[in-house]
Amino acid sequence: MLITLGTASGGFQQAKAQLIFPGPVNPDKSSDKNEPISKLPSSTVSSGLDAKQIAATHSMKLDADIKNLVILIPNPALTDQKFLPMDATIVKGTKAIWVNGITGTTQGIVLQDAKNGKTLFSNSSIPYRNATDYIFDKKGVYTFTSTQSPTAKGTINVVDKGTLPDDPLTNATQVTAGLFVAPAGDKGYFDKHFSTLGYHMVDSTKIKKSPGSGGSSADDTLLYVYTQKLGKYESVVKRTSIKLGFLQSKVP
């Protein structure tokens, strides 16, 4: 098993993805107790985990409760967005975990310092349902691109602890956050099984299929915003891989 150790030491780092091969996926037999689904706060309270806002801006803001941000490379059958999220504001010390969610592909990530263009991290071999990571321990603005789609550029803004206000939808027991997409026509299936394996579904919203693109409302996409109580890298990757297995049963 190859394990990536993310670090922001300032030097270039060539990394290999951790390989995770979970067993058969059967969400109906999960032993984890489903957790309650959060209700969004009133409009007077701001949250970086508001699904509609994230869908509109393609960005997230995560307070100091969140130690890990999962950035999904999503199935293009569900969205034309190359990363979920495309942009994020995180607190210094947060780890970003890029997960390949495209069936039958090997993806790659290149991370650069936006100020000087210096490459800090590169991984060109992330198999499907596997990941790589990097810890952002210096304040600044960083960009990341896919080796398969180099024109698609994401941004990570790293700020000092205390810069972002406390988010009402996060707490210290849910240390990982991310986004997930699924077919809106399978909402019942994913609503039932999403809050398992330590996941907490914070919010969701439907993203309608673009006009003129064909198909029906059943082809719309459901965007989930979640937190996760597990913080260990290997556990986060394995549980995300299992969620992708649920998705593969619906979108080959």
pLDDT greater than 70 at residue 213: no
Strand order in the sheet with 13-14: 13-14, 119-127, 106-113, 140-146, 153-159, 87-91, 59-61
Question: What are the chain's domains?
Answer: 13-20+31-248 (2.60.40.420)
Residue 15: HSE in the Cβ half-sphere, 13 Å Cα cutoff: 32
Give the pLDDT of residue 37.
Answer: 41
Q: In degrees rounded to 5, what are phi and psi of residue 106?
A: -115, 125
Tell me which amino acid residue 229 is.
K
* Ramachandran sector of residue 145 (left: φ over 0; alpha: ψ -120 to 50; beta: rest): beta
Average pLDDT, the chain: 84
pLDDT tens-digit series, residues 139-158: 999 999 998 888 899 999 99
Give the pLDDT of residue 22.
Answer: 43
